[in-house]
Amino acid sequence: MIDLRWRVLHYREEIFAEGDQFIPVGQVVSSIENFAHRTDRFGSHVTKRRWPRVGELTSLVGLRAPELNSVRRRLSQAHTIEDLRRIALRRTPRSVFDYTDGAAGEELGLSRARETFRNLEFMPSVLRDVSQVDISSSPFGVRSPMPFAFAPTGFTRMMNYQGEPAVARVAARRGIPYALSTLGTTSIEDVAEVSVGGRLWFQLYVWRDRLTAEDLVRRAEAAGYEALILTVDVPVAGVRLRDVRNGLTIPPKLTARTLVDMAVHPSWWANLLTTEPLEFASLTSWSGTVADLLDSIIDPTMTIDDLAWLRSNWNGRLVVKGIQSVADARRVFDAGADAVILSNHGGRQLDRAPVPLRLLPEVRSALGPDVELWLDTGVLNGADIVAGHALGADLVLVGRAYLYGLMAGGERGVDRAAEILTDEIIRTLKLLGVSSIAELSPEHVRVT
């Protein structure tokens, strides 16, 4: 009781410091000077008080109609890519989330890449006019409204039933180039059809069966794809231990464990079972682990000479993805590549591979300003994209960032991911005192 009374007294004192003047509602105080020099018995200045008017209170009330759409409601809680990742974790079966989120071995290739982005320092300039910023980039010398692209990711319809078409639609609407994977679950033609006005690239693994590869390349050309991205860092699959431990197969099998999971993620399973069967669009059929699949289709005998074979089958732009040294970058440009992607495959192949962001300045200074260098791995924030451009990248690709959005809320989730990254890019540029991506230079970033 005593304690309670003491609390009430104490509270009163905090709110109405002794000596404060309380003015009844509507009473007009002739001039502020009436109060300006008043002090209480301890000599503290006395603040004038009054009752609030009804109109003042109603303008403070922030009641809004509740959001009835559950996806929009869910996504409105996401302010960062990490928020989308947390929602994705709740919405998706654990083995599917782990397939996307995971990397190879001890996952050091991925964690080091992310840490490098987190640890860098930006060096801002102040007193610059940043009222307007231009965040466009120019892959292959053609203007793109955004400084980033969506990286190729296999089996996208497993993460969410809306899959590649959802990603392609968002990409086209927002002017983000999108690379469809060889291991996509929607066909080359179907993605082209929904990508109205979009910029599409096709990612190719070099198949043991070259005729199948040539057929895919012809189809991509016929469907109007602008560039071919040859991924070269998968002579064998990296060991993705989470998949091994979860027993993930493609397509997911109905086991006692997955049946339990159905109770926890009923909408994911209902969507899987009531839409087109989950299959690779460019492979006849497969039943096994992703690693076994990669090992069975990819040709480990491939060498730099095979770029000439690809060149003779493809008239568009040619990009080589998975370059991890200055020497290899030089070799593939000499062999006719139009661009290279410095990437360690999001840490999913060789664990402890070089961090692409660290490699970037070395490759840029060795090969000069004229070659086209792209970057990926570890991007979770628009600020990471800004840092990549500052250190010499012409374009930055994001993989998991949009996949977390897809798992969190299908097409709307991908859109939210793109919106978050875009807002972060614009704000970072303004705070750096820079009014365009093109203006960024290595002086804006210190890699520690």
Which residue ranges make up the site for ligand FMN (CB under 6 A)? Answer: 100, 151-154, 181, 183, 203, 231, 321, 343, 345-346, 348, 376-379, 398-401, 403
446 dihedral zone (left: phi>0; alpha: psi -120 to 50; beta): beta
**DSSP label at residue 145:** S
Q: Whose CA is closest to 360, among 425, 442, 426?
A: 442
Q: How far is the CB of 397 from ligand FMN (least distance, A)?
A: 6
Q: How far is the CB of 382 from ligand FMN (least distance, A)?
A: 13
Are β-strands 445-446 and 121-122 bridged in parallel, bridged antiparallel, or unpaired?
A: antiparallel
Cα(345)–Cα(393) distance, integer angstroms:
16
Cα(114)–Cα(378) distance, integer angstroms:
5
Q: How far is the CB of 18 from ligand FMN (least distance, A)?
A: 59
For the record, the structure tokens of 13 come out as 């004192």
Q: Whose CA is closest to 238, among 355, 374, 345?
A: 345
Cα(360)–Cα(120) distance, integer angstroms:
14
Amino acid present at 246 = N
Q: Are 229 and 204 in contact (CB under 8 A)?
A: yes
Rounded-to-10 torsion of CA 367, 368, 373, 377? 70
Residue 133 or residue 205: which is nearer to ligand FMN going by CB?
205
Residue 97 or residue 333: which is nearer to ligand FMN going by CB?
97
DSSP result, 407-433? HHHHHHHHHHHHHHHHHHHHHHHHHHT
45 is catalytic: no
Q: How far is the CB of 23 from ligand FMN (least distance, A)?
A: 60
Q: Whose CA is closest to 392, among 425, 422, 362?
A: 362
What sign has the CA pseudo-torsion 163, 145, 231, 196? positive
Residue 133 or residue 401: which is nearer to ligand FMN going by CB?
401
Residue 317 or residue 348: which is nearer to ligand FMN going by CB?
348
Residue 415 or residue 434: which is nearer to ligand FMN going by CB?
415
Query: Count of CB atoms within 10 A of residue 196's CB?
Result: 10
Q: How far is the CB of 160 from ligand FMN (least distance, A)?
A: 12
Output the residue with the shortest Cβ distance to ligand FMN.
399
Q: How far is the CB of 343 from ligand FMN (least distance, A)?
A: 5
Q: How far is the CB of 294 from ligand FMN (least distance, A)?
A: 9
Cα(114)–Cα(44) distance, integer angstroms:
52
| C-alpha distance from residue 112 to each of 57, 103, 413 (Å) | 51, 12, 27
Q: Are 191 and 162 in contact (CB under 8 A)?
A: no
Cα(424)–Cα(356) distance, integer angstroms:
21
Residue 399, classed as helix, strand or coil, is coil
Cα(219)–Cα(175) distance, integer angstroms:
23
Q: How far is the CB of 168 from ligand FMN (least distance, A)?
A: 15
Catalytic-role residue among 10, 45, 345, 444: 345
Beta bridge partners of 204: 230
Which residues form the catalytic set? Answer: 345
